[in-house]
Amino acid sequence: MERFWIIRDTEHGKVIVPKKPILCPICGEVMLLHDFACYKHTSGFKHADIHVKCPYCSFWATFGVPISEEEFEELTKSPLHKQILKWELTNLVDEEVRGDLEARLKKWGYW
């Protein structure tokens, strides 16, 4: 089975994103990518911790995604690594939902 997460190269740097929008299990809103951080264990195991947040009810979740050495290098060198994602977070959804989300997030002072 192909992995649900893919690395996308944006104009701001590389970011790991889901292939499909993640819906909030509480209220059904499209969840936003908040930040990601990669870790390497002493055993050599590498993973990305990816935080997503619901812009409506504030539900917060962490995904722990195993990554390769190459992906670890790509993601830790990205200017977006361990940063709170702003513009980039909207890349998760299609154009129609994106326009709506951007308008609402701007109104709430998200960026």
- The answer for residues whose C-beta is within 8 angstroms of residue 58's C-beta and 6 or more apart is none
Please say whether the beta carbons of 111 and 105 come within 8 A: yes
Q: Does 34 bind Zn ion (CB under 5 A)?
A: no
Distance CA 22, CA 40 (A): 26
CB nearer to Zn ion: give 7 or 105.
105
Stretch that binds Zn ion, among 11-19, 23-31, 64-72, 83-91 (CB under 5 A): 23-31
Contact between 48 and Zn ion by CB under 5 A: the answer reads no
Q: Which residues bind Zn ion (CB under 5 A)?
A: 24, 26-27, 29, 54, 56-57, 59
